[in-house]
């Protein structure tokens, strides 16, 4: 996919060469100045006329008309050098590859050094390039009948840089791994629920484990009954599909300690149960397993890059259906932890399956917990569709998650859990906990409920209900699943101390 070359040969032939253009005076130097001379100063004239622009994300195409061995020059606007960030550069590359979609040639060259600044070195630029290429060119295949016409697309990128070749290659690999794993999560979330049941999700996890030599465990219903996973099993009661408790273990240290537990909500379809969703709200509920997809995507990155960390991933997988056997409002169930729960809303099912999954992650030795879930519509009301809601019981752990999210451009915002919130979750007159104490602060109630099962274990909750899908195409992908939190989780694990 990527080939790093130290210097661009004078006679190198390319269909297209991509060059970064900063907003500065004089506008051209280095390689760009050389190209301007080759083209008899015409690039400078185009710049003065406004046909070339350094405005951020603006892509200009210049045909060289046989004057050079490169047929086309693509100038990518980067804005002011002092204002360019890694996140912005990734989006710039995303816009570039969106622009190149549908070209009739399969190779492109990139002058990577023209995209660097004092803050963004070649390795950062290489990571951003590879990650953006994977993310921006992703398409869910879907199920329409396919044309016999072969699709043309970019298959090979030659990267020119004067920097260390091996370091640039390593950064391209990491960026590519991050992008591809995010796309894996996107595909899982985009898949219809009749084609991705709990068993299918478990099979996918087993394939991942075999590929990357993870330990794995798939608990069946009978084993869950013996372990007392009453909260998880209650959600599955109405389904004809068996539940699966999926466990993947990666040991990157000599001893199994300082274990990071990743817990992902795996509701493959959510009707709401007897607290049934309205007709508009039920469409799209195939995406209610985006938390599970995020965890599996992060495990893919872990498998590829092999960080020196210990990680256990726990995914409770089931659908939430309606039948004569389904659980009901007013039921009282007993979780694996022994805590009893009064069910007042069967559509608050995600926190029930996560309760037993969190307990089981601790059973596998998790010393730190991060759960990821499309948990509440309330987080969308509070934070919109571009920000993931977060809650925690541990400042130090949250700060590391926050830093990882900032690095990957997946913005999160912390919501509080107060003593009053804890009291509301504990206000059932007949059980230890109430699974849905009311609409007020709904997102916080979901987090406060999960905190009862994290107990003293350092824990961060990430509610991705608003960020797991998007209704609009963007620079780093199409409409549909976003794969949010795959890269944040992986970056957190890589940096964790």
349 is in an annotated binding site: yes
347 is in an annotated binding site: yes
The first and second tokens of residue 252, run together, are 């990157």
253 is in an annotated binding site: no
Q: Bridge-partner residues for 62, per DSSP?
A: 73
Helix (H, G, I), strand (E, B) or coil at 313: strand
270 is in an annotated binding site: yes
Catalytic, 180? Answer no
* Opening angle at CA 430, ends 376 and 453, nearest 5: 45
Q: What are phi and psi of 364, to 5 degrees?
A: -90, 10
**Of 403, 364, 372, 428, residue with least CA distance to 495:** 403
Q: Bridge-partner residues for 349, per DSSP?
A: none
CA distances from 496 to 75, 294, 296, 403 (A): 38, 18, 19, 10
308 is in an annotated binding site: no
Look up residue 82 and give its DSSP letter: G
**Of 439, 452, 311, 460, residue with least CA distance to 373:** 460
* Opening angle at CA 295, ends 456 and 312, nearest 5: 50
Spot the catalytic one: 56, 180, 186, 351.
351
CA quadruple 100, 110, 114, 409: dihedral sign? positive
Give 319's contacts (C-beta < 8 A, 6+ positions apart): 193, 197, 198, 236, 239, 241, 267, 268, 269, 270, 271
Distance CA 162, CA 160 (A): 7
Distance CA 326, CA 231 (A): 13
Total number of residues shown for the chain: 497
Spot the catalytic one: 221, 277, 328, 414.
277
User: Cis bond leading into 26, ω under 30°?
Assistant: yes
* Opening angle at CA 8, ends 4 and 11, nearest 5: 130
Distance CA 91, CA 481 (A): 17
The first and second tokens of residue 269, run together, are 């379809």
Catalytic, 277? Answer yes
CB 280 within 8 A of CB 188: no
Catalytic residues: 277, 351
Q: What residue numbers does the annotated binding site for Mn(2+) cover?
A: 265, 270, 288, 347, 349
Q: What residue numbers does the annotated binding site cover?
A: 265, 270, 288, 347, 349
């Amino acid at each position: 996919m990527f080939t790093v070359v130290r210097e661009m040969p004078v006679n190198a032939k390319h269909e297209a060469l991509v060059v970064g253009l900063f907003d500065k005076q004089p506008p051209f130097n280095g390689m760009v100045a050389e190209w301007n001379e080759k083209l008899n100063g015409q690039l400078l004239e185009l710049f003065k006329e406004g046909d070339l622009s350094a405005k951020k994300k603006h892509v200009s195409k210049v045909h060289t008309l046989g004057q050079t061995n490169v047929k086309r020059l693509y100038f990518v606007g980067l804005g002011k050098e002092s204002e360019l960030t890694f996140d912005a550069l990734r989006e710039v590359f995303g816009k570039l590859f969106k622009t190149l979609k549908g070209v009739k040639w399969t190779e492109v060259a990139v002058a990577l050094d023209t995209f660097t600044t004092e803050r963004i070195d070649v390795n950062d630029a290489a990571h951003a390039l590879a990650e953006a290429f994977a993310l921006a060119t992703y398409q869910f295949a879907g199920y329409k009948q396919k044309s016999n016409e072969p699709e043309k697309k970019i298959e090979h990128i030659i990267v020119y840089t004067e920097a260390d070749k091996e370091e640039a290659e390593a950064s391209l690999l990491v960026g590519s791994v991050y992008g591809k794993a995010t796309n894996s999560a996107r595909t899982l979330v985009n898949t219809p629920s009749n084609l991705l049941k709990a068993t299918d999700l478990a099979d996918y996890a087993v394939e991942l484990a075999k590929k990357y030599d993870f330990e794995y465990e798939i608990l069946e219903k009978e084993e869950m009954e013996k372990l007392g996973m009453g909260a998880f099993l209650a959600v599955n009661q109405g389904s004809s599909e068996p539940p699966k408790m999926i466990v993947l273990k990666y040991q990157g240290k000599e001893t199994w300690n300082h274990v990071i537990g990743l817990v992902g909500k795996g509701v493959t379809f959510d009707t709401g149960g007897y607290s049934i969703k309205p007709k508009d709200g039920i469409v799209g509920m195939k995406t209610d397993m985006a938390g599970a997809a995020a965890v599996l995507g992060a495990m893919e990155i872990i498998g590829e890059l092999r960080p020196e960390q210990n990680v256990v991933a726990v995914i409770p997988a089931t659908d939430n259906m309606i039948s004569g056997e389904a659980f009901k409002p007013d039921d009282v169930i007993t979780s694996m932890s022994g805590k009893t729960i009064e069910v007042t809303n069967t559509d608050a099912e995600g926190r029930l399956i996560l309760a037993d999954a969190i307990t089981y992650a601790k059973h596998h030795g998790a010393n730190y917990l991060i759960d990821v879930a499309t948990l509440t519509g309330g987080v969308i009301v509070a934070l919109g569709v571009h920000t993931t809601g977060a809650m925690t019981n541990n400042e130090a752990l949250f700060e590391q998650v926050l830093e990882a999210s900032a690095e990957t451009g997946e913005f999160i915002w912390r919501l509080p859990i107060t003593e009053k919130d804890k009291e509301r979750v504990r206000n059932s007159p007949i059980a230890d906990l109430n699974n849905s104490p009311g609409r007020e602060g709904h997102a916080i109630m979901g987090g406060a409920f999960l905190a009862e099962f994290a107990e003293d274990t350092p824990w961060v909750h990430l509610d991705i209900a608003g960020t797991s899908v998007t209704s609009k195409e963007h620079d780093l992908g199409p409409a549909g699943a976003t794969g949010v939190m795959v890269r944040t989780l992986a970056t957190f694990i890589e940096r964790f101390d």
